[in-house]
Structure 1
Amino acid sequence: MELINEELLFFLYMLIPLIMLFQTVPILKTAGTGTHDQVNGQARTLNILYTGGVHGELEPCPCSPKTDFGGVVRRAGYIAEHQKMLSPYILLDAGNFLGKDTPQGRLKAEAMLKSFSIMKYDAVAFLKMEKEFPYSFLSGLLEKYKIPVISDMPQYRQSILTKRNALNINISVNPMNYQKGKLNILLTDKPISEIKHVKGWNIIILSTGEILAEPLKANGTIIVSGYPKGERLGILTLQVDSGGEILGFKHRWQPLGKDIKEDINVRKVLNEYDARVATLLKDDSKPLVNISYLGVSKCAECHQPFVERWKETKHARAFSSLERVGKSADPECIKCHTVGFGKKGGFHSVKTTPMLTNVQCEACHGPGREHVLDFSKPMQTVTESVCLKCHIRSTDFNYPVYLEKIKHK
């Protein structure tokens, strides 16, 4: 019996190396294993850097440390500083990166596209928000800054083919434009509930504003969504075989806070933008007529104790906070740091309406002219909706808590 065991052990000892020599290891072809193991040496690394749903946010609102994230200057700075670590990569925007088609919105559009050009985006989707701008306006900018646009609009191509790290990559906005044998990436603003049923694509990047802390896996597809307002840069690291099959992946969000080094070239773009935006303010030489807002000094004639309490709040120093960050001539900022900006008889310049700087009584209670003429006419009641006209950017806004901070009764 001992002899048989010894012979069996010897046989197995000789057989195992032969098995290992001729054994074929199958390639793992699943989208989303979360691993980085190379299989048969065929795995190739690719980083997909992506944004989507930025909605015209060139720079973050600096009013609160909790909102001071994002912006094209920091995004460009991070990519430039870490280019060696990130390579090989492709840089994509899944659309809805523009804001509204207004005079300021058009200045933003040019600054955004010029920034994209500096960052060398590989593909940029034109979707819902971009469609609000006329083609006659955008076409010149696209030609000037050489932006690789894809869109379902007839004036543009729907797909772009590119190559990175010996990988053939198909980037499209059309779910029907899948190409076999390539890494296929779909850019869309369809909601998750709808897009998760689309089959065949390796990667789908959304610009709906839906936050996905981690990628969603559905039907063999990895689904990610651009972080709202571009506060973070999405980085999806893939291990891919030569045929475009994903062997594994990992994902992370790169916060774009104040610690990120700025890109000097993109900062120049934003400085130019700020200077052009300042010209949108009304002509200082125009005489004031039909004054509806009277200013805090008029309120103090009858409500001095309330005004003294107001002076202790941040509302009383709201305009100086804009001056500190160079935004005192930006209409989008001014409207929440002055009284009645954009309304008849409201603030329109420091020179002509200095009495309407800061968030004064009438910013919350409404114009006081009619009340002064007839005290029986009540001022506007301050409800939560009044606060949310500006505090929509306050991520931790809580009406009872915030109201307590400015309470003066």
Structure 2
Amino acid sequence: MLRIFVFTLAIALLPLKAQAQESLQILYTGAIKGELEPCGCSPETQSGGLARLSGFLMEEGGSLKPFILIDAGNSLAEDTAQGRLKSEALLRSFAVMGYDALAFFKSAAVPPASLNVRPGKNAITDIPGQRRSIETRRGEIRVNISADPKGLKKGPLNVLLTEKPVTGLKNVSGWDVVITSSGELLDEPVRIEGSIIISGYPKGEKLGVLKLSLDSHGKVSGFSHRWQPLGKEVKEDARVRAILKEYDTKVAALLVEKEKEAASLGPYLGEAACVECHEPFSESWKATRHARAFETLERVGKSKDPECVVCHTTGFGEAGGFYSKKATPGLADVQCEVCHGPGKDHVREGKATMAVDRSLCLRCHTAATSPFFDYESYRERIKH
């Protein structure tokens, strides 16, 4: 009787075993575009950053296992001296985090092979003749990751990385998951031809987390998705912070001190020259945040970062404009000549100053640096 009971129980349990499900989490980024960390210009744009991303993975990675970490591409910066330093710092940071797959597309402004830091064996591309797919495993779960939409679907679980926008995705049948780095913001995944479509959060402000439920054959039977915030509450990874500090040092070297240009050769005079005739306006300017713009960079260690300096000084990047605090101290901060134009001709020939309009302000008050900028109300703050 006991034998019959045990045998019956074993038969009853067989379907349960066949239906047993596993899960795999895909943690993903894409469209970082060289944003190593938040710029610090506005409290509303303080999300993201590689040091926080790595810190989150260190602190919470254990509870997310099994997972794979993927970057869907478009994460390198522009092809400039500073942009190349950014891209190299990003690749070094990715190596610390242990990405399983990194996508690089032929449209990239900087070919990865031209950088001093090269991606490793986890790199795939859409360029013919180069590695276009990679396979990774988590226990018995086998994942085929490819940058080639026409590539073979080699595994039970197939993931396609692309830079195409969602509206341009066609013939994706057979790809279980498609991750785009088009820069689109998708609040939730969309379904196209049965594929789960997700998109890397622009500039790496959040980490995407896609949890897949897999049947006994390793095929997707269900999923859930969330965005992991990377705010200041996330503890940074000291290893990545060290990489970013080294980047800051290299960027500062791009602004090597040089002899100050003779005043006669430059059109900028500085606020000290304006105050001689416009003292009331100078006093009202001193009460604005424009008068302390450079100080804010010094406070966060970005006073030698060209991408930041240009909007916190007067005439940076132009002949006779701000170069460094040491070489051109009289042109630090957002002074009169930023809004009204260089003062040399105005003083010498009495030419009218430049009119201030919305387009002038929008050069620096962008959606990324000043998301709540309103021309009328902000204009009142500096009116004189």
Rg (Cα) greater in structure = 1
Mapping for residues 1-400 of structure 1, pairs under 5 Å:
40-127=18-105, 131-134=108-111, 136-138=113-115, 141-142=117-118, 146=120, 148-154=122-128, 156-179=130-153, 181-195=155-169, 198-285=172-259, 287-288=261-262, 290-375=265-350, 377-392=351-366, 393=368, 394-400=370-376
Q: 1:374 to 1:197 in 2, by over 3 A?
A: farther
> How has the CA–CA distance of structure 1 residues 91 and 23 changed in structure 2, closer, same or farther, with 3 Å as cutoff?
closer
**TM-score, with length taken from structure 1:** 0.86
Please list the CA deviations of residues 353-404 of structure 1 after superposition, one character each: whole Å capped at 9, or x if unmatched: 10111111112222121111121x2222222221111111211222222222
**Cα distance 1:70–1:23, how it changes in 2: closer, same or farther (>3 A)?**
closer
Whole-Å Cα distance in 1 between the matches of residues 357 and 166 of structure 2?
A: 34
CA root-mean-square deviation = 2.1
Q: Is the 8 A contact 2:210 2:225 kept in 1?
A: yes
Contact 2:106 2:126 in 1 (8 A): no
Note the C-alpha offset of 1:109: 1.1
Q: Give 1:127 shift.
A: 2.1
1:47–1:238: 8 Å Cα contact kept in structure 2? Answer: yes
Shift of 1:314: 1.1
Deviations 1:105-150 (A, max 9, x none): 1111110000000000111111266x32245523x522xx635111
Work out the CA distance in 1 between the residues paired with 2:89 and 2:304. 17
- Number of matched residues? 372
Q: Distance in 1 between matches of 2:382 and 2:192?
A: 49
Report the 3-state secondary structure (helix = DSSP H, G, I; strand = E; otherwise coil) of the residue aligned with 1:337.
coil
| 1:296-332 deviation per Cα after TM superposition (whole angstroms, max 9, x unaligned) | 1212222222222211111111111111111111111
Change in CA separation of 1:181 and 1:134 when aligned onto 2, cut-off 3 Å: closer
- Kept in 2: contact 1:44–1:165 (CA 8 A): no
SS class of match (2:86):
helix
2:43 is aligned with what amino acid? P
Q: In structure 2, do the counterparts of structure 1 residues 285 and 155 end up closer, same or farther at CA, with 3 Å as the change threshold?
A: farther
- Partners of 2:13 and 2:325 in 1: CA distance: 80
Structure 1 Cα separation of the partners of residues 77 and 357 of structure 2: 28
Unaligned runs of 5+ in 2: 1-7
Q: How far apart in 1 are the matches of 2:256 and 2:13?
A: 78
Contact 1:206 1:225 in 2 (8 A): yes
SS of match in other structure, 2:117: helix
* Residues in 1 aligned to 2:70 and 2:262: alpha-carbon distance in whole angstroms: 48
Structure-2 change in CA distance of 1:360 and 1:237 (3 Å): same
How far apart in 1 are the matches of 2:152 and 2:291? 57
Report deviation, 1:178.
3.8
Contact 1:77 1:261 in 2 (8 A): yes
Q: Distance in 2 between matches of 1:206 and 1:94?
A: 6
